[in-house]
């Protein structure tokens, strides 16, 4: 029979779920895989790995000055990252990994990391990219066995594309999306609607995606980085209700089910197709968040809305058994970093930690 260790604040008796009532903070069950859960039942099941902080775009909602982000100092190697994923898999049973950046396809580690992580027996390995370098990597991604990919794309207008991304070429991204679809991958497109910038593209983007069997995800502008509590955030923020109102003039749709820990509110369109809204402001999803983030320089983040991070590079110098023990304690702390109710905003730049 496995041992249970409860890290508590005050005295909270466990309830029927094994979690405490009221003030129980984190429960650890050492039977088989570690079960590290908080009082809301949240546990880490979804890991996002930022291969690099560098990006070949300088999107207006990500960086303030048009300067492209550079790689962080002392980045982990591909081998260290693969080992970290394997350790987290052993401790928590994490079975979903998303490869992110910055722009992950810029990283010289991408090929080796992709090969290594695909051999870990995970249920789901996916990728988020801006698509600019897919002509170089598309065939490798298809051949790897990866089943799905997200492409960040905020407009179908070439001039608007350059205004927002401040780099890149729209035609390259669109042709790359077609190539991935031909290769059998399930593609989602991520769009950040912004008032008076690209909100007129909401319906054209949705029709483009419907025609190709792509699920479009609208992501509400996030109150973080240089936009945190700024006038620009207030001026540009475009809410889920406004998105739905625009779409309702062109399509009939209804809300449909989404997985328990999904960040998106999902809708089905009459006549075919789906879209989602990641409504971090309008309909927060913090209570069901299972995400953990590993930055390129070896820091674990339990929450996008908390700048606190945990440096795991020293424990990677230890043998597996002691590394697992140390990492287990880090995960307890990282789970405590999550917000209880909603995203509160943070000065952290998302590209550094893998949005």
Among 12-16, 83-87, 194-198, 289-293, the minimum mean pLDDT is found in 12-16
Kindly state whether residues 52 and 27 are assigned to the same domain.
no
Structure tokens at 320: 């597996």
The pLDDT assigned to 132 comes to 98
Q: What is the pLDDT of residues 29-76, one digit of tens each?
A: 444 455 788 877 788 989 999 999 999 999 999 888 877 878 888 899
Q: Do 177 and 299 belong to one domain?
A: yes
Confidence bin at 9 (pLDDT 50/70/90)? very low
CB 57 within 8 A of CB 95: no
The helix-helix angle for 78-92 and 320-336 (nearest 10°) equals: 70
Would you say 55 and 350 are in contact if contact means Cβ atoms under 8 Å apart? no
Per residue in 102-121, pLDDT tens? 999 999 999 999 999 999 99
Regarding whether 3 and 146 lie in a shared domain, the answer is no
Model confidence at 144, pLDDT cuts 50, 70, 90, reads: very high
How far is residue 350's CA from residue 303's CA, in Å, rounded to a whole number? 11
- Residue 277 counted as domain residue: yes
Same structural domain for residues 22 and 104?
no
Dihedral sign, CA of 224, 226, 230, 234? negative
Look at residue 19 and tell me whether its pLDDT is greater than 50: no
- Domain identity same for 21 and 47: no
- Measured distance CA(290)–CA(42) in Å, rounded: 6
Provide the domain count of the chain.
Answer: 2
3-state secondary structure (DSSP) of residue 125: strand
Give the percent of the chain with pLDDT over 70: 85
* Cis upstream peptide for 62 (omega within 30°): no
pLDDT of 296 > 80? The answer is yes
Count of CB atoms within 10 A of residue 213's CB? 12
Is 245 buried (19+), middle (13-18) or exposed (0-12) by CB count in 10 A? exposed
Residue 347 located in a structural domain: yes
CA distance 123 to 113: 16
Q: Which domain holds residue 168?
A: 42-353
Mean pLDDT of the chain: 86
**Model pLDDT, residue 280:** 86
Could you read off the pLDDT of 224-235 as tens digits, one per residue? 778 877 898 889
Residue 96's CB is within 10 A of a number of other CB atoms, namely 16
Which string of DSSP letters, residue by residue, matches 2-21? --EEEEESS---B-TTSSBS
Q: Which of 19-23, 99-103, 237-241 has the lowest mean pLDDT?
A: 19-23
pLDDT in tens, 277-291: 999 888 877 777 889
Confidence of residue 8 (pLDDT cuts 50, 70, 90): very low
235 is a domain residue: yes
pLDDT score for 342: 52
Name the strand (E) or helix (H) holding 48.
Answer: strand 46-50
Q: Cα-Cα-Cα-Cα dihedral of 18, 22, 24, 28, to 10°?
A: 30
Residue written as tokens 């995960």?
Answer: 331
Q: How many CB atoms lie within 10 A of CB 4?
A: 13
Judged against a pLDDT cut of 60, whether residue 1 lies above it is answered with no
Which of the two residues, 339 and 84, has the higher pLDDT score?
A: 84
Same-domain status, 102 and 28: no
Cβ atoms 8, 22 nearer than 8 A: no
Do residues 27 and 155 both lie within one domain? no
Res. 11 pLDDT band, cuts 50 70 90: very low
Instruction: Tell whether the model's pLDDT for residue 26 goes beyond 60.
Output: no
Residues 47 and 24 in one domain: no
In terms of phi and psi (left: phi > 0; alpha: psi -120 to 50; beta: otherwise), the region of 81 is alpha
pLDDT at 309 over 60: yes
Q: Can you tell me the mean pLDDT for 180-190?
A: 98
- Residue 37 in any domain: the answer is no
Q: Compare 281 and 210 and report the one with higher pLDDT.
A: 210
Same domain for 258 and 239, yes or no, is yes
pLDDT given at position 348: 54
Does 28 share its domain with 125? no
pLDDT for residue 224: 74
CATH number (domain holding residue 65): 3.20.20.70
State residue 353's pLDDT score: 56
Contacts of the segment 203-206: beta carbons below 8 A, 24+ positions apart: 203/246, 203/247, 203/249, 203/250, 204/156, 205/153, 205/155, 205/156, 206/247, 206/250, 206/251, 206/273, 206/275
164-169 mean pLDDT: 96
Q: Which stretch of 18-22, 83-87, 146-150 has the lowest confidence by average pLDDT?
A: 18-22
* Residue 140 burial (C-beta neighbours within 10 Å; 0-12, 13-18, 19+): middle
> Is the same domain home to 228 and 276?
yes
Region of residue 66 (phi > 0: left; psi between -120 and 50: alpha; otherwise: beta) = left
Same domain, 123 and 11: no
Q: What is the pLDDT of residue 344?
A: 55
**Percent above pLDDT 90 for the chain:** 66
326 occurs within a structural domain: yes
Residue 201 to residue 155: CA distance in whole angstroms: 6
More confident residue, 303 or 185: 185
């Amino acid at each position: 029979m496995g041992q249970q260790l409860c890290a508590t604040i005050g005295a909270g008796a466990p309830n029927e779920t094994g979690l405490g009532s009221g003030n129980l903070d984190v429960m650890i069950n050492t039977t088989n895989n570690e079960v590290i859960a908080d009082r809301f039942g949240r546990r880490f099941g979804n890991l996002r790995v930022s291969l690099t902080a560098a990006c070949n775009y300088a999107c207006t909602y990500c960086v303030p000055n048009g300067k492209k982000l550079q790689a962080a100092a002392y980045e982990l190697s591909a081998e260290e990252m693969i080992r970290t994923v394997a350790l987290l898999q052993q401790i928590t049973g994490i079975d979903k990994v998303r490869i992110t950046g910055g722009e992950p396809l810029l990283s010289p580690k991408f090929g080796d990391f992709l090969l290594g992580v695909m051999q870990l027996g995970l249920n789901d390995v996916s990728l988020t990219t801006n698509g600019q370098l897919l002509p170089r990597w598309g065939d490798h991604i298809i051949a790897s066995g990866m089943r799905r990919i997200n492409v960040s794309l905020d407009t179908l207008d070439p001039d608007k594309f350059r205004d927002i991304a401040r780099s890149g070429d729209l035609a390259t991204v669109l042709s790359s999306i077609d190539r991935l679809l031909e290769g059998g991958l399930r593609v989602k497109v991520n769009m950040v609607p912004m008032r008076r910038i690209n909100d007129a593209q909401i319906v054209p983007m949705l029709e483009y995606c419907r025609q190709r069997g792509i699920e479009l995800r609208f992501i509400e502008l996030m109150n973080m980085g240089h936009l945190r509590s700024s006038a620009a955030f207030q001026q540009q923020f475009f809410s889920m209700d406004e998105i739905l109102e625009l779409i309702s003039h062109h399509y009939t749709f209804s809300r449909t089910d989404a997985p328990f820990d999904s960040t998106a509110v999902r809708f089905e369109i009459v006549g075919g197709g789906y879209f989602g809204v990641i409504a971090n402001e309008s309909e927060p999803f913090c209570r069901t968040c299972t995400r953990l983030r590993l930055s390129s320089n070896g820091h674990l983040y339990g929450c996008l809305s908390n700048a606190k991070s945990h440096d795991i590079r020293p424990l990677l110098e230890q043998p597996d058994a002691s590394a697992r023990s140390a990492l287990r304690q880090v995960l307890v702390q990282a789970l405590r970093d999550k917000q209880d109710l909603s995203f509160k905003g943070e000065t952290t730049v998302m590209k550094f930690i893998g949005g």
